[in-house]
Amino acid sequence: MSAEPLNNKLIKYENIGFSFENRQVLSGFNLTVKKNQKILLRGKSGTGKTTLLKILLGFTKPSEGTIYFKNRVIDSRTCWEARKEIAYVVQDTDLGEGKVKSLLDDIFSYRANKEKLDHEKLRAFLRELELEDDILEKNFQELSGGEKQRIGILISLLLNRNIYLLDEVTSALDAKLKKKIADYFLAREDWTLLIVSHDREWERDWMETINLETRS
């Protein structure tokens, strides 16, 4: 049997520990995420699910252990390279004040995102997410929680990444939309997903599901 290619291992958590307010949240956590793999993280609030995603992007530093992205240690310098390849979608998307269209224009004016705002794809994703075109003219802060979540998903899709960190991104949606969005992401064989969700619509028999309440 031939050895597994090194570039097949995208993310590796090695003996990760994390403490918050004198409480050990994570201890000796190990996980390897391979290219195109879909992994669902479960656990009660406070078990470190979101923390694991933030550590990967360099937003949070572990108290012990090492995390690798494409065989490179994540630190204050290399985390920027990881962020260019990963789409991170959170539960409570907050883009600030202003019309949705203006906020999108701002996001896609950054050098790393330039030329990614494809208006044809934008309209297609609006339809896919069951959003009307006129939402672009609405003030973001006046949108419902479910609309904000779908705008967050919309932005991640426009960024055209292959690695997605999805943190409770369907929590404010009805069951039909939860399933539609989960099906959309999970159907993409070329995407790697690390998912935090309590929504049953994400569960699949073939996925690896990790319960952080029982795993270290």
Give the pLDDT confidence of 94-114 residue by residue, as tens digits: 999 999 999 999 988 877 676
Mean local confidence (pLDDT), 170-186: 98
Give the pLDDT confidence of 118-151 residue by residue, as tens digits: 889 999 999 999 999 999 999 999 999 999 999 9
Quickly state the pLDDT bin for 2 (edges 50, 70, 90).
very low
Chain center to CA of 11: 14
CB 101 within 8 A of CB 137: yes
- pLDDT at position 215 is 60
Written as six digits, the tokens of 90 are 């959170």
**What order do you get walking across the sheet with 72-73 strand by strand?**
23-34, 9-20, 64-69, 72-73
Give the pLDDT confidence of 64-103 residue by residue, as tens digits: 999 999 999 999 999 999 999 999 999 999 999 999 999 9
Mean local confidence (pLDDT), 45-58: 95
Query: Pick from 48, 56, 52: which is nearest to 74 by CA?
Result: 56
Give the pLDDT confidence of 187-216 residue by residue, as tens digits: 999 999 999 999 999 999 999 999 998 664
CATH class of 6-92+140-211: alpha beta
| Separation CA 54–CA 16 (nearest Å) | 13
Task: Using the predicted structure, report yes or no on whether residue 33 has a pLDDT greater than 50.
Answer: yes
- pLDDT at position 17 is 96
Domain boundaries, the chain: 6-92+140-211
Query: In this structure, which long-range contacts are made by residues 122-129, counting pairs with CB atoms below 8 Å and at least 24 apart in sequence?
Result: 122/154, 122/158, 125/154, 125/157, 125/158, 126/154, 128/184, 129/153, 129/154, 129/181
pTM beyond 0.85: the answer is: yes
| Separation CA 28–CA 32 (nearest Å) | 13
